[in-house]
Amino acid sequence: MGNRQHMKNFIALIIVSFVALSSVFAQLPSVFTENIKKGREKDPRARLYMSPVRIVHQSDLTGKWIENANGLLKEGNGQAELINRDLTRIKSDKDHKAYIILDFGTEIHGGLQLVTGHMKNKNPVQVRIRFGESVSETLADIDTSSGAMNDHAMRDFRLDLPWLGEIEIGNSGFRFVRIDLLSKDVDLLLKEIRAVFVYRDIPYLGSFKSNDERLNKIWETGAYTVHLNMQQYLWDGIKRDRLVWVGDMHPEVMTINSVFGYNEVVPKSLDLIRDATPLPAWMNGINSYSMWWVILHRDWYRYQGDKNYLKPQQTYLVALLHQLMSKTIDGKEQLDGKRFLDWPSSRNTEAIHAGLQAMMVLSLNAGAELCEVLGENETAEKCRTTVSALRKYVPNVGDSKQAAALLGIAELIPANVANDFISKEGVNDFSTFYGYYMLQAKAKAGKYQEAIDNIKEYWGGMLDLGATTFWEDFNVEWLKNAGRIDEMPDRTKVDVHLCYGDYCYKKLRHSLSHGWASGPTAWLTEHVLGVSIVEPGAKVIRIRPNLGNLNFVEGTFPTLQGVVKIKHIKDVNGKIVTTIDAPKGIKVLR
């Protein structure tokens, strides 16, 4: 009888425990929800696996050390298998260590996945993996002579590969990967090697197509360059300078407005830099970058029309504008902090002074616009009064195309004067960042065909060297006897990535995917397709094309109400015939 009662009690305990556990399990979803609320962030990015498209180079073509290298070009599935079918075999002994260089076809952001086969020896196999934006970069060691580095993002690893398994490594910007076998006396079986592409899975709502394929490719390359840098925040580069540099953001944001429309990465990044920079500090330690923050908010509001986002900026914005106005004496800018426009002009103090004078005009005008929207009329009036005083003093251009561009855009010098200076010696002394403002100054002077020609020569020059994204810096002089970045270095030609670069981007440290170089994409949409914003939120837009020598241009432009479709065709008499299909709620002026 006692045993029966004991069994009943035991069964009852099990039932009570099960009910209690069921209650706990039922709470898991709400616990998970609470954890999310406490700050666990969901990654806004997607992952895409990409097989290599080409073997650039391999250390052995005899078949003794590397067998079936082309097997790595097949589409993979990321899964190891017991059966060794069509695997790539890489061998070593105590003296010979083989390697292979793979090309994934285009620059991407992400890492690498390796899947191994059923090897006889279960010990891990050590390899060295080097990511490169150029083939040349995959050949370099981390040293001061070549400029190769692991700054911001690791790109040079030693890694143990598992027996019959899968492993992922890396988080950088690259197109090429070199894999060296380091372990001695091993027989490495590789089922597959795939790139792990990490990106925001967003549609390209804007588009641009003309009868000039080179121009089309440039527009697309600028758009793609910015897309790669739209990570958790809006970065400068996916290999190096994976930071929010607020001045560098301006061309990127203008490209985002033209290609993707609204994306949360922009306000998220603007807020990050604001919160990281309590006044009176300058953003990124650079006075002009705080001015770019004001201009960015004005342009973002023009395109997106979100007053609810603008309102929380009010306190900081007004205080910053008063701080800027306090840095003028007798109509001359007297800014403290780091005085900087872009790197190629950074040693020219006269040009920097001229550029900062223009930036004060541009940023205070933008600030006045924003203050009027926010009802800060007194500050708006002070901004305009300060601008009037600044206009009475025009500094010397300092033999700088950067300064000339800003002075022209700010209307401190006539547009034709700015253009004449920028046009000297063609695209010599252009820069990838301020090239956008040189193009804008040319548009202000009505020199659209000149600007189109400049785009094709300067940005197109990077494409001629094998670029799939636009670079941190470029000089057309680099084209002389230059080898391509997608080929093995040739001793009879100049290795562009290894030999050029300056300031913080010397040699292989040079970023070959830099969002600030995307200016032509935004410029072509605004001035050739002809789309400009008349009322905030793009509720009213104006379409005035400038085709130059082009026969036709068509494209799309993203708005919050939908995509505007535009087509311009030049008839036999040179007259442009335009057709527009705009969504409801968008008014189009001609």
3-class state of residue 202 by DSSP: coil
- Distance (Å) of CA 352 to CA 182, 298, 335, 395, 415: 51, 23, 11, 10, 19
Residue pair 259/204 in contact by the 8 Å Cβ criterion: yes
Ranges in the chain, pLDDT < 70 = 1-39
pLDDT at site 340: 97
DSSP 482: B
What does DSSP say about strands 54-58 and 576-581: parallel, antiparallel, or unpaired?
unpaired
Name which CATH class applies to 47-199. Answer: mainly beta
DSSP letter assigned to residue 209: E
Residue 16: the pLDDT is 47
- 67-87 in b/e form (b: 16+ CB < 10 A) is bebebbbeebeeebeeeeeeb
Instruction: Count the neighbouring beta carbons within 10 Å of the beta carbon of residue 9.
Output: 10
Instruction: Name the token pair of 127.
Output: 């390899």
Rounded Cα distance between 4 and 155, Å, is 69
Query: What was the pLDDT predicted at 209?
Result: 98
pLDDT score at 30: 64
pLDDT of residue 145: 84
Q: What is the pLDDT of residue 18?
A: 46
Phi and psi (nearest 5°) for 498? -80, -30
State the pLDDT at residue 33.
61
pLDDT of residue 17: 47
CA dihedral of 142, 143, 147, 149, whole degrees rounded to 10: 30
Place of tokens 């397709």: 529
Q: What are phi and psi of 11, to 5 degrees?
A: -65, -40
The whole-angstrom separation of Cα 116 and Cα 76 is 12
What pTM was estimated for this model as a whole? 0.93
Tokens representing 548 are: 């130059």
Q: Which residues contact 235 (CB under 8 A, 6 or more apart)?
A: 229, 241, 242, 243, 244, 515
What's the confidence (pLDDT) of residue 1? 47
- Count other C-beta atoms under 10 Å from residue 235's C-beta: 29
State the CB neighbour count (10 A cutoff) for residue 7: 10
Closest CA relative to residue 257, chosen from 31, 8, 444, 537: 537
